[in-house]
Amino acid sequence: MKILAFTPFIYLTALSMSLAQPQQPPRAAKKTKELNIHGQTRIDNYYWLNDRENPEVIDYLNAENAYTKQTLAATNGLQTKLFDEMKARIKEQDESLPYKENGYYYYARFVKGGEYPIYCRKKGTLKAAEEVLFDGNEMAKGLSYHDLGGYEVSDNNQIAAFGEDTVSRRMYTLRFKNLKTGQVYPEEIPNTEGGSYAWASDNKTLFYVLRNPKTLLGYQVWRHELNTEPTRDVLIYEEKDNQYYMGLYRTKSKKYIAIVSDHNGVATEYQLLNAQNPTGTFRSFCKRERGHEYQLQHFNDRFYVRTNWQASNYRLMEVSEDQAFADRAAWKEVIAHRPNVFLEGMEVFKNHLVLSERKEGLLQIRVINFVDKSDHYINFGEPTYTASVSYNPDFNAKLLRFGYTSFTTPNTVFDYNMDTRTKKLKKQQQVLGGFDAAQYTSERVYATARDGVQVPISIVYKKGTKLDGTAPLLQYSYGSYGYSSDATFSSNRLSLLNRGFVYAVCHIRGGQEMGRSWYEDGKMFKKKNTFTDFIDCAEFLVAKKYTSSAKLFAMGGSAGGLLMGAVANLRPDLYRGIVAAVPFVDVVTTMLDETIPLTTGEFEEWGNPKNKDSYEYMLSYSPYDQVAAKAYPNLLVTTGLNDSQVQYWEPAKWVAKLRDLKTDANQLLLHTNMDAGHGGASGRFTALKEVALEYAFMMNLVGLKE
């Protein structure tokens, strides 16, 4: 990095910070960096913060942490109380609902005091002796971070391939464990894509995805033979286009190993190999073509294809196995395109086809009987909820396992008989401490955006909360990548609701709640719709007296953190406080640097600023670039030093610039987890401390001390 000039700066070390007053926040150095493109020059005074090896950078982050700790010292008791009550709602000794696959029942369980799950199985029957596959608590001993990035068991049930990340960069070291003897094999393969592992049917050949250590993109598929040196592994495929994300898996039918290259919103390509022929050649099912995205399921002698070919909301096609790998002329339509229904997913059984469909923002599950051609929807009976098809590995099953949750219904799993249309409750999240769903109310309302579009809002609050403008309200959304923000249950959120908060999820454009066009209208050159939708929803909530600007808070993370940054610039007067978690705020500079992890795969979401029109549009909303000398709301910004998706320096630079330019006396706090990355702390209880910090920040601002 070439530094053109620099000025003296002041920053406080963690030691001196402990003696300082909160009125004296740390200030990062200004070291002028000129960034030139399209005949324009931008000055970035905090560019130097992108060097994590620089001791000055670490000192500055530690000083900000100390300042945050000191500023919120008065909330320490509240944070402890929040942590204790959130932890107390969790059943410490618990286990997941078992599922049966290849003769074994698999499940995970937690023990009292344990931070991590213990993965287990039983052979043939749930009354059989338990086999412990992986004890997360033992594996995490002595580590500040640990993540088991999925595991895959060989066809003979004897070998498990598993990945471990101990840094929080989502770079997993692939290892192998003999499930009969407990032996962990000596070979280790670093920098793999966690969970992207697929066994061939010979029980000794494993395919895996290697990640580029600089871009962090999965870019190569390799073949490994058990009990051989990884140096002998064979490169099978390399993704040459670094705008594509790559995955690898074994189909539900177990017949094929699939390499999936996906450029979100642009194109998809599947390459398939018969699992019985591990040294064979992968074949493209349908070559990538700009504008064509698809998803495959294989069953018996045919493939089912969920495709947006001549269908913006997707339709379902089928093709016989002997006509596959040719062209789309052989595809036959099963479910036609519908302009008001988005086909989100599918699950195939011997006698049934299950579709996940999204209509008017709600996900519905549709069951089609192959035998008598009848079809029906599962009735859920709530105004706002989330339903999803769970893991269903058995093709011959008549029972569909699905999950259901809402703002007032804890996570629930049902087994649904697709013939008799009856469901059986199998497991519901137990919320300790006397939770009563009847004490809470959920609503679904619509705000009119400035261009006339109706934006759904899902709302929950405790009964008795006054809706006269006096209640504090937390407004949440994400609004990017076509990711839908659904109404789900959170036992942590009860700590807000029980103290009189209203909680609102805004289903803004950029998500996919209302169909594919909802996403298309919130990306690229229409990205600002995401921000204005959120603001218009906030104004609606104030006008309808769910809250007032004096008690309105906003929260979003990652791309939702970009939303927070844009809203803070556009309407700082509208909010009492904003929580921006791992926020993507330095949009232009990041997207101009293709060496930064994951940048290239994002061009079709935000635009490529090397193109002048994209540059100018992105610059016009980039939160870091749009910081100005004006008053801002109270801000809590969080990040992780090892974040692999939004690098820590983006929020750090944003806070530094805000601290220099803002004209108000409101709180501006940066909290960096020095041991974690994008998802925060890895332990199930340790992570609650970060939630308690966020909640205490908001509660303190509206005078809630307990």
Contact 219, 237 (CB under 8 A): no
What pLDDT score was predicted for residue 484?
92
Of the listed 558, 614, 622, 644, which one is catalytic?
558
Q: How far apart are the first and last CA of the chain?
A: 48
Per-residue three-class SS string for 385-417: CEEEECCCCCCCCCEEEEEEECCCCCCEEEEEE
The token pair at 160 is: 């498990």
Rounded to whole angstroms, the Cα distance separating 548 from 542 reads: 5
Angle at 162 between CA 161 and CA 167, to 5 degrees: 155
CA distance 361 to 347: 21
Strand arrangement, sheet containing 159-165: 147-153, 159-165, 172-178, 189-199, 205-211, 218-225, 234-238
Kindly state the DSSP code that residue 655 receives in the 8-state scheme.
H
Using the Cα atoms of residue 629, residue 630, residue 634 and residue 638 in order, give the sign of their dihedral.
negative
Q: Would you state the structure tokens that stand for residue 377, as one six-digit string?
A: 């929807």
Q: Which of 632, 627, 361, 355 is nearest to 477 (CA)?
A: 361
d(CA 198, CA 223): 10
What is the phi/psi pair of residue 185, to 5°?
A: -65, 155
Q: In the β-sheet with 422-428, what is the strand arrangement from edge to edge?
A: 386-389, 399-405, 412-417, 422-428
∠ CA(523), CA(528), CA(529), 5° rounding?
A: 80
Spatial separation of the C-alpha atoms in residues 111 and 119, rounded to whole Å: 11
The residue with tokens 């791309």 is: 559
Contact of 259 with 246, CB cutoff 8 Å: yes
Annotated catalytic residue 643: yes
- Which residue reads 């990711």 in tokens? 483
Q: Which residue has the tokens 């290259």?
A: 261
Interior angle at CA 334, CA 513 and CA 403, nearest 5: 45
- Predicted local confidence at residue 681, as pLDDT: 54
Listed residue (87, 128, 144, 129) closest to 110, CA to CA: 87
Contacts 24+ apart (CB under 8 A), 441-448: 441/408, 442/382, 442/383, 442/384, 442/406, 442/407, 442/408, 442/487, 443/383, 443/384, 444/383, 444/384, 445/540, 445/544, 447/506, 447/536, 447/537, 447/539, 447/540, 447/541, 448/536, 448/540
From 442, 671, 678, 682, active-site residue: 678
Mind giving me the DSSP string for 464-518? Answer: T---SS-S-EEEE----TT--------TTTHHHHTTT-EEEEE--BTB-TT-HHH
CA distances from 570 to 349, 549, 655, 657 (A): 50, 15, 17, 16
The residue type of 28 is A
Q: Are strands 218-225 and 205-211 parallel, antiparallel or unpaired?
A: antiparallel
Distance CA 513, CA 522 (A): 12
Integer CA distances (angstroms), 37 to 27, 40, 125, 451, 606, in order: 29, 5, 65, 33, 18
* pTM for this model (two decimals): 0.86
| Per-residue pLDDT tens over the stretch 411-443 | 999 999 999 999 999 999 999 999 999 999 999
Reported for 274-280, long-range contacts at CB under 8 A and 24+ positions apart, including other chains, are 275/198, 275/199, 275/200, 275/201, 275/250, 276/200, 276/201, 276/202, 278/200, 278/201, 278/202, 278/205, 278/207, 278/223, 279/223
Q: Which of 466, 472, 504 is nearest to 703 (CA)?
A: 472
Whether residue 352 lies in the annotated active site: no
pLDDT value, residue 7: 27
Among this protein's residues, is 146 annotated catalytic?
Answer: no
pLDDT for res 220: 95
Burial of 548 (C-beta count, 10 Å sphere; 0-12/13-18/19+):
middle
Q: Distances in Å between the alpha carbon of 318 and those of 101, 332, 367?
A: 26, 5, 17
Question: Could you give the CA distance from residue 589 to residue 571 in angstroms, rounded to a whole number?
Answer: 23
SS3 539: helix
Given this model, what pLDDT does residue 677 score?
A: 54
Give DSSP secondary structure letters for 99-139: EEETTEEEEEEE-TT-SS-EEEEEESSTTSPEEEEEEHHHH
Q: How far apart are CA 635 and CA 651, in angstroms?
A: 11
For position 649, what pLDDT does the model report? 95
Distance of CA 200 to CAs 118, 256, 421, Å? Answer: 26, 9, 37
- Burial class of residue 643 in the structure, from the number of CB atoms within 10 Å of its CB (0-12 exposed, 13-18 middle, 19+ buried): buried
Strands of the 352-359 sheet, one edge to the other: 342-348, 352-359, 362-369, 375-377
**Quick count: other Cβ atoms within 10 Å of Cβ 347?**
21
- CB 407 within 8 Å of CB 503: yes
Extract the tokens encoding 93.
């000794």
DSSP string, 559-610: HHHHHHHHHHHH-GGG-SEEEEES----HHHHHH-TTSTT-GGGHHHH--TT
Rounded Cα distance, 278 and 222, in Å:
11
DSSP state of 429: -
Catalytic residue, chosen from 262, 533, 586, 643, is 643
Residues of the chain where predicted confidence (pLDDT) is lower than 50:
1-22
